[in-house]
Amino acid sequence: MAQLGIESVLVAGRGPAACAVIAACSRLEVKAVAVHSETERHALHVRLADDAVLLGPAPASESYLAVDRIVEAARRSGVSAVLPVPPALAGNARLAGAVVASGLTWVGPEAAVLERLGGDGVEPASEQGLLAWVTDEGLRCVTPVTRDRAAGIARVSWTAAQTPQQPWPLPATARRLVEVGWRGLVTVGVAPDGELAEVAAGFSLDMAVLERAHGVDAVELALRSAAGTAGKLPTPAGPARAAVAVQLRSTLAPGRAGRITGRLPGPGRLRGGDPAVELVASRGYEPGDRLDGWYDALLATVSAGAADVPAAARAVSDALTGLGETGVPHDGGEVCAVLERLASGHPEPGA
């Protein structure tokens, strides 16, 4: 697509997030090439892509996180760009530098910037956070978020409370992201003193909150930043809506495999009871697919945009409550407990 500036990408990632990115590439008429390990030759993200390249053995360190193998896969596939999905890859300064050195476009902040701000590749763990699309003109689609976490894992994120009379205070240090050269999507954690705690690139759970709040496509924003066509996309004034996003995870013991027997939420827009609510889901598995014990057991993500957080939370809860037998145990009950608090207007436990 000439207007976008990038015609083909290697999608470095797996699971529901990679599936969502590949689906977005299809909508944008960008060729998507998936990567996979030896044990995931027939995974859903591979089946959805236009093409796929083998990285290596099952261990992530020898496949999905192997910098040299990802770069070589990009060369072999003939793509023009590498689009990293998880923060562990999107924040990897060595990978960013190697992609550019091989003559390809890196869809994310430059390696030197990652070394200064996000080279650890971790997803922000702070309860308060901020999402934005960083361009030459400044921070766009700014979205404050609040997170509920269990054992350091983001399960539920939602737009932080604010009004035109009492807007959420943007940390002064956040504006420095433009000055230091960060371009593209950013997820940050905000410390209790208002300063930035963590800075991450990639497609975290929170990015669905940004998409629902502003009515934008995060993949398009990332590709436009990399291609230098960010200025051609108008930014909605807002956020005009509240948004909630959740992750549904298997609770199988680490290293234990399983098989999906029921249909998970998604893909794409779901039907809800309220036509004013935008409900979107992405799944990483279809019935019959094997849940590999080597990898993170993320099953699906569901997000909603609505007039307020309670309405968005109710829509997501309804989508999860309607799940039948999936074939593997999951944390849907715990997630729905958080959503029930949000729907009642009391996000804090015990409120």
d(CA 326, CA 320): 11
Distances (CA, A) of 13 to 83, 228, 301, 348: 9, 23, 15, 33
- Cβ neighbourhood burial of 136 (10 Å; 0-12, 13-18, 19+): exposed
pLDDT digits (tens, 9 = 90+) for 29-85: 999 999 999 999 999 999 999 999 999 999 999 999 999 999 999 999 999 999 999
pLDDT digits (tens, 9 = 90+) for 299-308: 999 999 999 9
pLDDT digits (tens, 9 = 90+) for 141-164: 999 999 886 655 668 999 987 655
- Per-residue confidence (pLDDT) for residue 350, from 0 to 100: 45
**Weakest-pLDDT range from 14-18, 69-73, 226-230, 259-263:** 226-230
How many residues are recorded in the chain? 351
DSSP 207-248: HHHHHHHHT--HHHHHHHHHHT-GGGSPPPSS--SEEEEEEE
pLDDT digits (tens, 9 = 90+) for 238-289: 557 999 999 999 999 989 999 999 999 999 999 877 888 999 999 999 999 9
Is residue 28 over pLDDT 50? Answer: yes
The side-by-side arrangement of strands in the sheet containing 81-84 is 51-56, 31-37, 8-12, 81-84, 105-106
d(CA 139, CA 82): 23
**Weakest-pLDDT range from 72-76, 136-140, 181-185, 215-219:** 136-140
State the architecture of 8-117 in CATH terms.
Answer: 3-Layer(aba) Sandwich (3.40)
Residue intervals in the chain for CATH 3.40.50.20: 8-117
pLDDT digits (tens, 9 = 90+) for 86-133: 999 999 999 999 999 999 999 999 999 999 886 556 777 788 889 999
- Cβ neighbourhood burial of 180 (10 Å; 0-12, 13-18, 19+): middle
pTM: 0.93
The residue behind tokens 């593209």 is 184
Residue intervals in the chain for CATH 3.30.470.20: 128-343
- Per-residue confidence (pLDDT) for residue 275, from 0 to 100: 87
CATH superfamily of the 128-343 domain = ATP-grasp fold, B domain (3.30.470.20)
